[in-house]
Amino acid sequence: MHIDGHYDPDADIAWLRFEGYDPKTVVGEQTDAGLREIDPSTGRVVGLEYWHASTTLPPELLTLLPPPGVTAAA
């Protein structure tokens, strides 16, 4: 499975996008941690957005995620 992610330390938001993520069709559902993005045709979770990421995700994960606008190496 391909996972794309970014972390913006200024906003303290982390984004994770999974295979099948299409920003034109996803439906966002607010959760306690941020947003869960669903593919409406399959019902699968294809994206997660973590607000206050530094308090909800391991620091080791956040250091692996590039800032927005930077493509991670495969």
Q: Which of the four pLDDT bands, split at 50, 70 and 90, describes residue 32?
A: very high
Say if residue 73's pLDDT is above 60: no
Parse the chain into domains and list their residue ranges. Answer: 1-32
Say if residue 70's pLDDT is above 70: no
pLDDT of residue 74: 47
Residues 16-31, mean pLDDT to the nearest whole number: 94
Quickly count: other Cβ atoms within 10 Å of residue 28's Cβ: 12
pLDDT of residue 38: 96
Instruction: Strands of the chain (E only): list them.
Output: 3-8, 13-18, 27-30, 34-38, 45-51
- In the sheet that holds 45-51, the strands lie side by side as 3-8, 13-18, 45-51, 34-38, 27-30
Q: Which of the four pLDDT bands, split at 50, 70 and 90, describes residue 1?
A: confident
Residues 11-15, mean pLDDT to the nearest whole number: 97
